[in-house]
Chain A
Amino acid sequence: MPVIESSLVVLRSRAAHAARDWNGDTLLLRGLQFVAIVILAVVGFFFIQLLVASLPVFTKMGVIGFIFENNWDVAHAVFGALPLVVGTGITSIIALIIGVPVAVAAALYITELAPARMRGVLALLLDLLAAIPSVIYGLWGVFILIPALKPIEEWVGATYHYVPFIGGSVTGPNYFIAGLILAIMIVPIVSAISREVLTTVPWSEKEAALALGATRWEMIKLAILPHARPGIVSASMLGLGRAIGETIAVTLVIGNAAVIGDSLFSQGYTLAAVIANEFGEASVGSTHASALIAAGLVLFVMTLIVNGAARIVVLRHTHTHSGPVEDRVVA
Chain B
Amino acid sequence: MSVFGVVSAKRRWTGRILQGLLMAGLITALVPLVLVLIYVTVRGLPALNLDFFMTDPTGAFFGDQGGIRSAILGTLEIVGLSTLIAVPIGIALAVYLNEISRQSQMALIIRYCIDVMTGIPSIVYGLFVYTVFVVGGIEAGFAAWKGALALSMLMLPIVTRASEVSLAIVPDSLREAALALGAPRWKVIIYVVLPTALPGILTGVLLAIARAAGETAPLLFTVLGAQVTTLALDQQMNALPLQIFNDIRQPNAALVTRAWGGALTLILLILFVTIIARFGARRRRLP
Chain A residues proximal to chain B, CB less than 8 Å = 21-22, 24-25, 27-29, 31-33, 35-36, 39-40, 43, 45-47, 49-50, 52-53, 101-106, 108-110, 112-114, 120, 122, 124-129, 131-140, 142-144, 184, 187-188, 191, 213, 215-218, 220, 238, 241, 244-248, 252, 272, 275-276, 279, 284-285, 289, 293, 296, 299-300, 303-304, 306-307, 311, 324, 326-327, 330-331
List A contacts of B211 (CB < 8 A): 131, 330-331
Interface string of B10-39 (1 = CB under 8 A from A): 011011001101111110111011011001
If the complex has contacts A136-B36, A215-B1, A248-B217, are A131 and B121 also in contact, measured as CB distance less than 8 A? no
Q: Interface readout for B61-99 with A: 1 if CB under 8 Å, 0 if not?
A: 000000000000000000000000000010011011000
B184-199 vs A, Cβ < 8 Å mask (1 yes, 0 no): 1111010000000000
Q: How far, in whole Å, are A22 and B26 apart by their CA atoms in the complex?
A: 56
B28 touches A102 (CB 8 A): yes
B120 touches A300 (CB 8 A): yes
Q: Which of B25, B220, B282 touches A279 (beta carbons < 8 Å)?
A: B220
Query: Quick one: which of B207, B263, B282 contacts A331, CB cutoff 8 A?
Result: B207
B7 within 8 A of A: yes
Taking CB atoms, residues of chain B closer than 8 Å to A40 are: 109-110, 113
A241-B119, A285-B135, A327-B165 are contacts. A131–B270 as well, Cβ < 8 Å?
yes
Q: Which of B135-178 contact A (CB under 8 A)?
A: 135-136, 156, 158, 161-162, 165
A252 to B7 Cα, complex, angstroms: 52
| B214/A43 in contact, CB under 8 A | no
Q: Does B231 reach chain A (CB closer than 8 Å)?
A: no
CB-based contact A303/B96 at 8 Å: no
Q: Is the CB of B244 within 8 A of A25?
A: no
Identify 6 residue pairs between A and B in the complex whose beta-carbon atoms are under 8 Å apart, listed by A's number: A36-B106, A46-B132, A105-B29, A139-B40, A245-B119, A252-B249
CA of A225 to CA of B184, assembled, Å: 49
Query: Whole-angstrom distance between the alpha carbons of A139 and B43 in the complex?
Result: 11
Cβ–Cβ < 8 Å partners of A217 in chain B: 14-15, 18-19
A-B residue pair count with CB separations less than 8 angstroms: 262
Known A21-B184, A39-B89; further 17 A-B contacts with Cβ < 8 A: A32-B96, A106-B26, A133-B213, A133-B215, A135-B214, A135-B241, A135-B266, A136-B267, A139-B244, A143-B256, A215-B12, A216-B15, A285-B135, A289-B135, A299-B121, A311-B115, A330-B211
Query: Of the candidates A238, A272, A311, which one forms a contact with B217 in the assembled complex, judged by CB atoms under 8 Å apart?
Result: A272
- How many residues of chain B are within 8 Å of chain A by beta carbon? 93
Q: A32: shortest Cβ distance to chain B, in Å?
A: 4
B19 contacts which of A47, A216, A293 (Cβ < 8 Å)? A216
**Contact for A245 among B124, B136, B213, B271, CB less than 8 A:** B124
Complex CA–CA separation, A40 to B29 (angstroms): 38
B91 to chain A, nearest CB (A): 10
Closest to B109 in A: A40
Instruction: Indicate whether B204 reaches chain A with its CB closer than 8 angstroms.
Output: yes
Q: Is the CB of B127 within 8 A of A293?
A: yes
Contact between B161 and A324 (Cβ–Cβ < 8 Å)? yes
Whether A106 lies near B25 (C-beta < 8 A) is yes
Taking CB as reference atom, which chain B residue is nearest A123?
B278
Which chain B residues border A49 with CB–CB below 8 Å? 128, 131-132, 136
- Min Cβ gap A13→B in Å is 15
Instruction: Give CA–CA (A247, B221) in the complex, Å.
Output: 13
Nearest A residue (CB) for B224: A280
